[in-house]
Amino acid sequence: MKRVTRRNPAARSQFSPDIPSLLQRIYANRGLQSDHDVDLALKNLLPASELKGLEPALDLLVSVLEKRQRILVVGDFDADGATSSALSVLALRKLGAAAVDYLVPNRFEYGYGLTPEIVAVALQRSPGLILTVDNGISSIEGVKAAKAAGIKVLVTDHHLPAQVLPIADAIINPNQPGCAFPSKNLAGVGVAFYLMTALRTRLKQIGWFQRQGLAEPNMADYLDIVALGTVADVVPLDHNNRILVHHGLARMRAGRCRPGIQALVSVAKRRLSNLVATDLGFAVGPRLNAAGRLTDMSKGIECLLVDDPAVANRYAAELDQLNHERKSIEGDMQQQALAALKQLQLGKQSELPWGLCIYKRDWHQGVIGILASRIKERFHRPTIAFAPADGGEIKGSARSIPGFHIRDALDAVASRHPGLIVKFGGHAMAAGLSIREQDLEAFQAAFDAQAHRLLQLDDLTGELHSDGELSEADIDLSVAQMLRQAGPWGQGFPEPLFDGRFELLDQRIVGEKHLKLSIGLPASKRVVDAIAFNVDLDKWPNRKLKQIYLAYRLDVNEFRGVQNAQLMVEHLEPA
């Protein structure tokens, strides 16, 4: 079940008349108050100087560059980790590093982060410095092993730290204790971008480029990678992140992006010229992620690193095929999960646990994150999907709902039940953990109890926040195009949603489970198309209806080169 509520601006806003009144309303509904809040010029990026640990990190990098030591970038196996790794390798090479390589743990062999086992693999490459990207803040033992082997370690991460920090030579993480950097929402690739940009500035100050005979790189060249990783990691798009994503998208639309990104956009059947953030999140990012989910993220990183478009196209085709395989696996797992939950709830959603934990012994470890997201969206309650791991353990991927900080919830469970969770980490809305298979039932009870402590019954009903009604005049192609360009929209800065009652002229099922609607606008005597995806076929089509209530997004539909306004329905019910 979902309910639709209309947003109320948090405070009085003072926008200039240059901004259309509809956009003023939408921006105010998201807490923006002035033209500065919507000014996405690069000059408005927060300065790197407030990142705690920046000076020791720069000293370390300059020393490694001057000594011509090998740098090994150790990344994560998701899209943020891939983009962080690619950006760091590309930037360091341009900045004059003598030797740069990367290493990404295979999730099925080594698990997440800089573990002692991965350090043992790293030692074979004789690095002078290990640079972690999108991981490392919880790698206590791995950093200790690297230091014991005489390797310097620079941790860059954005995940929430535990009480104990690794004994790295330097740590850059806006979420570490005592860091004054105003935005805590940088993705791992954003942290890497800030560090590489600050390194470029330091090297310029000491005359490095002149001494080495190197051209000073333009760091804006990497914003396409930053945009992809930021959107794909679903971090909140605060003002700073919107600046990064806006300029990355602008480079993509202009065709000034990495060959690998161009190839991924192409296999996703999108066009660079009108790309928006949702395309990165729902079409490009999943294809990059597919490598880390099913095989080895090295394929994704290589796709981003290569300069030859033909080679990039081959990598993109492989990633596209992996994504098709991922969808098939996920679809089977979802059907199994829904069948199990149907037995559990006996026809009544209210009988489900408030905190859902699902597990089967043949589930694929690389797909449980997406499975948890799908189940969470369907039942609107915190969900953890588990898959088998080694040594009698099972690994879980957790997704949450507003009002339930999943990482803190796991921390509370661990505190109340010492030893029940082997390890965990993550964010407010997503986390990962490991438990012993024999402890699954005990963990399910503890997790559900924690959900009951923190949530109210109303929290288990999904809520759609509407920006109000649109006039008939605004249900128009030009307004739809304006809204597409007014973002970037995403996590924490949602795409505009409107609601209203409409005359229903026609309804039919397309693509087996999607409902195509024809909506009448009586005042202007126009008809507009609307589509609702994955409807309940027991309820729709409803031939008795003449009036319908919709919550929808206004978007642009293009068919055979012709563009029209279309309503993308998020919720529908009889009026």
Q: Are residues 85 and 225 in the same domain?
A: yes
Total structural domains within the chain: 3
Residue 492 inside a domain? The answer is yes
Q: Are residues 239 and 93 in the same domain?
A: yes
Q: Looking at the predicted structure, is the pLDDT value of residue 226 above 60?
A: yes
Structure tokens belonging to residue 301: 């990183």
CA-based radius of gyration for the chain: 24
- What CATH number corresponds to the domain at position 271? 3.90.1640.30
For residue 90, the surrounding DSSP H or E stretch is helix 79-94
Q: Are residues 295 and 353 in the same domain?
A: no
Per-residue pLDDT of 450-479, as tens digits, reads 999 999 998 998 899 999 999 999 999 999
Residues of the domain holding 528: 467-574
Q: Are residues 98 and 217 in the same domain?
A: yes
Residue 558 inside a domain? The answer is yes
- What CATH number corresponds to the domain at position 364? 3.10.310.30
Q: Are residues 295 and 367 in the same domain?
A: no
Last residue of a domain, one of 457, 490, 508: 457
Percent of the chain with pLDDT over 70: 98
Determine the Cα–Cα distance for residues 26 and 499; give it in Å rounded to an integer.
Answer: 13
- What CATH number corresponds to the domain at position 472? 2.40.50.460
Q: Are residues 449 and 558 in the same domain?
A: no
CB 568 within 8 A of CB 531: yes
Q: What is the mean pLDDT of the chain?
A: 94
Residue 7 inside a domain? The answer is no
Structure tokens belonging to residue 216: 């000073």
Per-residue pLDDT of 152-206, as tens digits, reads 999 999 998 988 999 999 999 999 999 999 999 999 999 999 999 999 999 999 9
Read off the DSSP letter of residue 37.
Answer: G
Last residue of a domain, one of 428, 457, 486: 457
Per-residue pLDDT of 166-176, as tens digits, reads 999 999 999 99
Q: Are residues 477 and 427 in the same domain?
A: no
Q: Are residues 261 and 311 in the same domain?
A: yes
Q: Are residues 362 and 289 in the same domain?
A: no
Mean pLDDT lowest among 25-34, 291-300, 512-521: 291-300
Contacts by 177-182, CB closer than 8 A, 24 or more apart: 178/52, 179/50, 179/51, 179/52, 179/53, 180/50, 180/52, 181/46, 181/50, 181/51, 181/52, 182/46, 182/50, 182/240
Residue 34 inside a domain? The answer is no
Please list, in sequence order, all residues whose beta carbon lies within 8 angstroms of the beta carbon of residue 46, skipping any fewer than 6 positions away. Answer: 181, 182, 183, 240
Determine the Cα–Cα distance for residues 95 and 117; give it in Å rounded to an integer.
Answer: 30
Q: Are residues 446 and 539 in the same domain?
A: no
DSSP output for 323-378: HHHHHHHHHHHHHHHHHHHHHHHTT-GGGS-SSEEEE-TT--TTTHHHHHHHHHHH
DSSP output for 92-140: HHHTT-SEEEEE---TTTT-SSS-HHHHHHHHTT--SEEEESS--TT-H
Percent of the chain with pLDDT over 90: 83
Per-residue pLDDT of 380-408, as tens digits, reads 999 999 999 989 999 999 999 988 999 99
List the alpha helices (DSSP H) in 206-280: 208-212, 223-232, 239-253, 259-267, 277-279
Last residue of a domain, one of 395, 425, 457: 457
Residue 157 inside a domain? The answer is yes
Q: Are residues 475 and 392 in the same domain?
A: no
Residue 235 inside a domain? The answer is yes
Q: Are residues 277 and 395 in the same domain?
A: no
